[in-house]
Amino acid sequence: MLSQGRGPEADLPPAEGSEDDPNNIFTLNNLGVAKEMEGESQEALKYYDSAAAVHSDAAAVVTLSKSWRGKPVAEMAAQNARNLRTHLDTQMTRELQMAELNTRGVSAMNRNELRAAQQDFLKAYALDPSNAFRQ
């Protein structure tokens, strides 16, 4: 799903039984990728950091980038987090912050998390009341 740009579908609740290992490095990294694709950068960082903290030597087999195949998933997650932080530090204008908050709000609404959606929309509105939900 991730390779097809279907981040929201990859972000659906895990299948029954997969909650047995909440520190599964593959799941954590993939959820980071899905959150990043959805525009939820802060959530993506949490997942990437959690995956990197597992310190597993498990190798990536299926990846969006061929260069990561066979390399440790923990390293890939750590690099994903560094890349995302660099992007946030250098590229996140107020307009992009508003766009991300609005995207997060829509995503939360799609998951029927109305309180979270409202909080994201209010944060976007606080950045610029005259430009709410315009991207």
Q: What is the span of the domain harbouring residue 97?
A: 93-135
CA dist 5 and 37 (Å) reads 7
pLDDT of residue 14: 52
Closest by CA position to 74, among listed 115, 39, 24: 24
Task: Please check whether residues 105 and 49 belong to one and the same domain.
Answer: no
This prediction has a pTM of 0.67
Residue 64 sits at the vertex; the CA angle it makes with 59 and 67, to the nearest 5 degrees, is 60
Task: Please check whether residues 72 and 39 belong to one and the same domain.
Answer: yes
Task: Please check whether residues 35 and 53 belong to one and the same domain.
Answer: yes
Task: Please check whether residues 98 and 87 belong to one and the same domain.
Answer: no
**Segment 50-109, tens digit of pLDDT:** 999 998 889 988 877 888 889 999 999 999 999 999 998 888 788 888 888 888 888 889
Domain count, the chain: 2
pLDDT of residue 52: 95
Residue 97 sits at the vertex; the CA angle it makes with 93 and 102, to the nearest 5 degrees, is 145
Task: Please check whether residues 6 and 64 belong to one and the same domain.
Answer: yes
Task: Please check whether residues 30 and 86 belong to one and the same domain.
Answer: yes
Task: Please check whether residues 41 and 97 belong to one and the same domain.
Answer: no
Q: How far is CA 119 from CA 75, 108, 135, in A?
A: 33, 10, 18
Task: Please check whether residues 79 and 37 belong to one and the same domain.
Answer: yes
**Three-class secondary structure of residue 12 per DSSP:** coil
Taking the mean position of all CA atoms in its chain, how far away is CA 102?
Answer: 15
Task: Please check whether residues 99 and 79 belong to one and the same domain.
Answer: no
